[in-house]
Amino acid sequence: MESLTDILINWIEEFKTDEMRKMENQTPGSTVQYFYAGEIAACEKCILQLQKITTAQSPERSEK
């Protein structure tokens, strides 16, 4: 199964603009990639929080 990070990276790749790709090609290891890393970390935190909330509110879970 794909990790959350892999899913988010693939999603970001899909939505990159030509301008973003040009920037990446001009400056390998650029801040563009660091920006993506930060975005991915933030997305993962949000998703994990949502999973916790959903799990806590899930009726099936509270019955057990």
Q: Is residue 51 part of a domain?
A: yes
Residue 42 lies in a domain: yes
- Looking at residue 28, what is its pLDDT? 62
Looking at residue 59, its pLDDT comes to 67
Other Cβ atoms within 10 Å of 53 Cβ, number: 10
Residue 64 placed within a domain: no
The Cα 38–Cα 54 span in angstroms is 24
Structural domain count of the chain: 1
Answer whether residue 22 is part of any domain. yes
The verdict on residue 23 lying in a domain is yes
- In a domain, residue 46? The reply is yes
Q: Which amino acid does the sequence have at 37?
A: A
User: Is pTM beyond 0.85 here?
Assistant: no
Tell me which residue range forms the domain holding 31. 4-59
- pLDDT category of residue 30 using cuts at 50, 70 and 90: low
- Per-residue model confidence (pLDDT) at position 54: 78
DSSP 27: S
